Amino acid sequence: MAHASRVQAAEAFVKQKLANHDSSHDWWHIHRVRNMTVRLSDHLSVGRWVAEQQLAELAALCHDVADHKYSADPEADRAALQRFLGELALSAEEQELIMYVVDNLGFKEELGRRDGGADGAANSQQRVLAVVQDADRLDAIGAIGIARCLTFGGRFNRVLHDPAVLPREALTQQQYVDKTAQQTTMTHFAEKLFKLKDLMRTAAGREMAEGRHAFMQEFVDRFHEEWQAAA
């Protein structure tokens, strides 16, 4: 199957799976991450550049299919994704690489590794993961990141800001996925979004993150000034 046909099939599959998502994690988020993945693909190896770029694009398209924040049954959605990839005439190795990226992309997984998780991925897996991960993280910061954060907070009925609720400094994986914990939209900036700049894994991603991070910091500073009637 030609790559263009695989991409077309993946777009249709993902649009159907994400049809009920709010605009912080909808098709347009996927579209932006895919486009950024292609832009960052120069990070991939020269010898396998075309093959890895194509797998990175497919992984970017599929990365939110089994998102724990939205899925009622992440394991079932993950299995559905595996079945779909099997229909694309990809090799077992290529399917495994895409699933590796999907399974290890998120901030939750980053916290798991920080908590002592081992990562024994092959070089090709790490190269593709780095590109898609940076693309996804870039969409979480800057102007779009701010808009997505506010949208996500509204979707899950979070308090916008409460000065008494302080950000958790050493956030663990368990705390991150705990939906009963008291959180606000504004603490999410300190707990996650401000950390992403220093987690970028490609040179191009790090460079782009600087400007987006600065814009986000300016917004948060201004927000607190206005909250305190100081501006």
Tell me the pLDDT band of 225, cut-offs 50, 70 and 90: very high
* Number of domains forming the structure of the chain: 1
The full DSSP string for 48-114 is THHHHHHHHHHHHHHTTTT-TTT-S-HHHHHHHHHHHHHTTT--HHHHHHHHHHHHH-SHHHHHHHH
From CA 159, how far away is CA 157, in angstroms rounded? 7
Provide the mean pLDDT of the chain.
Answer: 89
Could you tell me the CA-to-CA distances from 118 to 94, 105, 134 in Å, in that order?
A: 22, 14, 20
Q: 164 is in which domain, residue-wise?
A: 3-227
Rounded to 5 degrees, φ, ψ at 70 are -120, -25
pLDDT of 56 above 90: yes
**What tokens appear for 42 in the block?**
């120069």
Q: Which two tokens stand for residue 129?
A: 């993961």
CATH number for the domain spanning 125: value is 1.10.3210.50
pLDDT tens digits for range 59-74: 999 999 999 889 889 9
pLDDT in tens, 180-218: 667 899 999 999 999 999 999 999 999 999 999 999 999
- Tens digits of per-residue pLDDT, 119-153? 334 488 888 999 999 999 999 999 999 999 999 99
